Structures are given as C-alpha cells and as structure tokens.
Amino acid sequence: MTDLFAPLQSLKQGDWFKLICGASFQHLSAVRNLTLAYTLAGADCIDVAADPAVIAAAQAALLVARTLARDAQKRGFDYKGNSPFLMVSLNDGEDPHFRKAEFNPTECPTDCPRPCERICPAQAIIFNNKKEDFSGVVSEKCYGCGRCIPICPYDIIYTSSYVTTPGAIAPLIMSTGVDALEIHTQVGRLAEFQRLWQAISPWADQLKVLAISCPDGDGMTDYLKAIYDLIAPLKSALIWQTDGRPMSGDIGDGTTIAAVKLGQKVLAAKLPGYVQLAGGTNSYTVAKLKAMGLLKEAEGSFAGGRGEEFSPLLPAKSSPTSIAGVAYGSYARVLLSPILDQLENKEVSNTNIKATVRLEEDDVLLWQAVELAHSLVSQIKSQQER
C-alpha cells in the first residue's frame, strides 16, 4: 500500500481523522500552522475553503511537514511523510458554513460590555486594536458560527452569505491539485445540488474522495438516497458527513450527541460509502462512539463489506455498519489557539516589513502544537493500534 492512498486505508479501517479549517476561514497563517501541526500528528484529511490563497497556504504546510517527518518519528509521532488529502468545501445554497459576521463598530455604544468579543471562538471580533487601528470583525478569521448574533444587546450584528459559483469550480479543482471535495447541502435542495454537480462531474474522476455534508431534517434519508442516485457511479470514495450541531464542538462535551445520533441515522439508511461525524465533535466523541459500539475493532472487517479483499484504490460499495471517522472543526482549532496566539504576537522584522512567525520557525511551539494535535488525533487512531 503506497503512501498516496494511506488516507483511504484509514477510511476502510475506521480510523479516519479530518481537520476542518473552515469553509469561510481565510486566515492564511492560521490555516498554514493548523495544517502543519495536524499533518505531523497524523491527520488523514485537511478541509479548507475553496480559495486559491487558502489552498496554497495549506499546500505549503504539507511540503514543510515532509521535511520534518524524521523529527516527528524521533519524537514518537507516527508520521511517515505521507500527505493527508487536501479537501475543499463548496455549497449548493445558503449555508451557515459559508457566511461572515458583520457590524458597524461606530454603532456600538461606548458602555456596551461587548459580549460578542468574548464569545467569538475565532477571536475575529476586536475593538480598538492599536496595532491595526481597527474595530469590528476581522473577515478572514470569521468562520460563520453565528454565536455573536443572538448575544448582541443592540441587535446590530448580521451575516453575509455567499454561494459557490459553479463555473469557478472545475478550473479550481483542475489547477490546484485538490484531492477531495465536500459539498454542503440541505434537505429539499436537490435541484440546486444537481446544478452544482453538473458543473463538477466532468472532473470528478480525478478526485480521491467526495464528501456530502447534510444536517438533519424531515426526509433526510430519502434526500441522501436521491443524491446517491444522482452521483453514482463514482470512482472516488464517498463520505456521508453527519453535520450534527455545526461549528459547536468547542462549546461543551454534550454537543457531540447530535453528531452521534445523526451518524446512527445515516448508518441505518444503508447508503453505499462511509459515514463520518462532524458538527459538535470534540474530545468526548470517540469515547462516546466506543461506548456505543459504533467504531470498528482493530480486527474487524473493512467498510467494503465482510470478506471483501482490501484495496485502497476501490471505494466502498456496500453499506457501512460502523462510523469510518471523525472530522473536527472548531474544537480542533481552539485546542491549538493558545500556541497560534503566541505566534501571532511574535513578529520578525525584515527590511521594515513585519510578518507573523511561521510555526516551523519556533521549534518549541511547533512540537507543543503537534503534541496537542496528536492528543486529539490519537483518540481514533488508537482503535487500530491495540
């Protein structure tokens, strides 16, 4: 089995780990550093915004990770230089993952306690930043969680949403070397999904993974079956991503329950492919899956079906009986935020141009970040190490 298909083996083994940087998250230095830390910690997939600059930042981190493979192994991390898949996220209509918070800071009363600033997990809301002379929402940091909206005492925060332009998809996939694609959809949007798929399908064969992300809703099972009928047959692996409580994993352990319940619902639908959790996932998720018997045992069969010969080149064609993996978004990012914050506060001066220190340029912070990332990645990877 070549390194090229190592992530596919993880899917079939049931220990797939995906990092979600955020479909609207365009903070390039953070994307780069998150990608580097989680790659060295053993992630199988890095999911980023469909933005050429963001994709380039993630790809740069993947190249750096390869140069650090030997150091990672010496430190006890099971990273052998094989790159995780790089995935981009698209949407077929309005979706909370594809929006930004906005407000006019001049409308904020001076005596406002600014709860929005305190609650923002991305630290995207700032007031009177002396270094940048800025107040408001830092657009590239905002990933659309929406927690600031209901907490604003003056109801002046709103969101701007955007929808993928189908004509821009194919050139993006072709020109950037993306391995995988995720489509965010919702029940009742089959016509919109079909339009997007028609724009993508001529180039779908070059993808290694296609993921469909859909929140729960009335008629969800029938909707997913209709999507499968529309996209089949596929040469790539197919993942059904259960979006339990979007962008909520850092709130508390209880948020993972919705993702697990939705995972059970999709498993019961017996759709071909793999089922992967997202939306509310955190440090509690794997323990919950283990307790409920929803993860494969190390000696268990692969998702391709009992008795099927394992081949990383072939997608699963039968219905899964267990969860193939977990995707972590807000929780994974917040877990590393203390280290990323330290990097942001360290600047190097080069011909009077200041730039944020890259993670690999600070050896101590680098391996602290990898250790933290590994504490999350290893929870599901330990399934196959026992």
CB neighbour burial string for 83-116, b if at least 16 within 10 angstroms, e if fewer = bbbbbbbbbbbebbbbbbbebeeeebeeeeebeb
Overall average pLDDT of the 205-226 stretch: 95
Q: Is the dihedral of CA 334, 246, 151, 250 positive or negative?
A: negative
28: nearest Cα among 102, 186, 139: 139
In the predicted model, what is the mean pLDDT of residues 238-251? 83
Residues in the chain: 386
Closest CA to 10 of 207, 276, 280: 276
Tell me the average pLDDT of the chain: 85
> How large is the average pLDDT for residues 161-188?
78
The pLDDT, as a whole number, for residue 231 is 96
Task: Give first-to-last CA distance, the chain, whole Å.
Answer: 21
pLDDT digits (tens, 9 = 90+) for 178-207: 899 999 999 999 999 999 998 888 888 889
Per-residue pLDDT tens over the stretch 313-347: 456 566 788 999 999 999 999 999 999 989 888 76
Q: Give the pLDDT band (50/70/90) at residue 221.
A: very high
**pTM assigned to the model:** 0.89
pLDDT-derived band at 254, boundaries 50, 70, 90: confident
Report the pLDDT value the prediction gives residue 310, as an integer from 0 to 100. 41
Rounded average pLDDT over 161-167: 68
The residues near 62 (Cβ < 8 Å, ≥ 6 apart) are: 35, 39, 46, 83, 84, 86
